[in-house]
Amino acid sequence: MRPSDRLVRHRSAFAGLIAGLVLVAVASLLLGSNPVPPDQVLRALLTPAADADAIVWGSRVPRTLLGIVVGFALGVAGAVMQGQTRNPLADPGIFGVSAGASLAVVVGVYVLQLNSPLLTSLLALVGAVLASIVVFAIAAAGRGLASPVPLAIAGTAVTALFSALTSFLVLTDQTTLTAYRIWVVGSLSGRNLEGTAVMVGFVAIGLLLAGLNAGALNNLALGTELARGLGESLWRARLVGLAAITFLTAGAVALAGPIGFVGLTAPHLARALVGGDHRVLLPASGLVGVLALVSADVLGRLIGGQAEVSVGVMLATLGGVVFVAIVRRSKLVAL
């Protein structure tokens, strides 16, 4: 493909993704389990009033903004993870981040009796980061980071261990089980924007690191030996990439709980639109992640009525179907 044709393709893809983002954001503000006429939504956004303000500013605006942040973070993290491991089935969760966050939340409830949403989010953030450090240390102490295999093995082992510990704790205490069930499903509802600056800051740092890692990911896609021959420092490439995954996923999990399938499927769909150049693929994956997450959240509000279906359940249901379709088209999963 000629560079001019590639440029046109990229511009068209991003124009479509941005237009889709605007549409789902508007839908997220207008639609919900509590019907509010569009004119009242607009009036509440411009000049907040009592009833509409509680619904629009108290629920829909935070959900929309968090959906954009979390969806973009998970989409980019998935693309970086698949680029680092050269594995089309790689997901940010394989790095132990979600398992570490879950264990930290359970320990906080079980040991410290915490029930504050803000403290729960901060605990999830700390647990996610610690899990990544453990995985990195295990991989570095073994065969090193030149190959992605030790990282994948260490991540799988740490995830299994932390998941077992989490299961043990929640099965021995009813209060912990109740709190864990609410958090682990993954949801944008019941969240507000107070105290989220730390989590959003983590996501911002992760996006910066992912951008710095884009060139290295292109070289790693050629193979480890060729990347080294091109002057790429494998240690630096792995370290920056894994730090990006950690910050992005930790921030997203702390904001919305563990949400699956976005980091797994978004890079495949984005790759079909813009190709494999990570300088373009990373932002495209982020936008696809936003579209998937916010759309699933809106759909969950509509089909669940007053008892909304959480976005984590919606994505688990729809994501499986979408991923089967992706797998059936082998050209989308080839890295």
Per-residue confidence band for 129, with pLDDT thresholds at 50, 70 and 90? confident
Residue 5 lies in a domain: no
Give the per-residue pLDDT at 278.
92
Residue with tokens 């499927």: 265
Q: Report yes or no on 3 lying in a domain.
A: no
- 2 within some domain: no
Q: Is the residue at 146 inside a domain? A: yes
Q: Is the pLDDT of residue 80 over 90?
A: yes
> Residue 75's pLDDT band (boundaries 50, 70, 90)?
very high
Map the chain to HEC letters: CCHHHHHHHHHHHHHHHHHHHHHHHHHHHHCCCCCCCHHHHHHHHHCCCHHHHHHHHHHHHHHHHHHHHHHHHHHHHHHHHHHHHCCCCCCHHHHCHHHHHHHHHHHHHHHHCCCCHHHHHHHHHHHHHHHHHHHHHHHHHCCCCCCCHHHHHHHHHHHHHHHHHHHHHHHCCHHHHHHHHHHHCCCCCCCCCCCCHHHHHHHHHHHHHHHHHHHHHHHHCCCHHHHHHCCCCHHHHHHHHHHHHHHHHHHHHHHHCCCCCHHHHHHHHHHHHHCCCHHHHHHHHHHHHHHHHHHHHHHHHHHHCCCCCCHHHHHHHHHHHHHHHHHHCHHHHCC
4 occurs within a structural domain:
no
Which range of 18-22, 52-56, 181-185, 244-248 scores highest in mean pLDDT? It is 18-22
- Predicted confidence band of residue 333 (pLDDT cuts 50, 70, 90): very low
Q: Is the pLDDT of residue 38 over 80?
A: no
pLDDT tens per residue, range 257-309: 888 888 888 998 899 899 888 999 999 999 999 999 999 988 888 886 666 77
Q: What is the mean pLDDT of residues 26-52?
A: 73
Q: Which domain holds residue 248?
A: 13-333
pTM over 0.75: yes
Query: Is the model's pLDDT at 171 over the cut of 90?
Result: no
pLDDT digits (tens, 9 = 90+) for 199-219: 888 899 999 999 999 999 998
Least confident segment among 53-57, 264-268, 329-333: 329-333
In the chain, how many domains are there?
Answer: 1
Is residue 21, in this structure, part of any structural domain at all?
yes
pLDDT attached to residue 30? 84
Segment 110-126 shows an average pLDDT of 78
283-297 residue pLDDT tens = 999 999 999 999 998
Assigned domain for 6 exists: no
Return the pLDDT at 203: 92
Does residue 1 belong to any structural domain of this protein?
no
Domain containing residue 78: CATH number = 1.10.3470.10
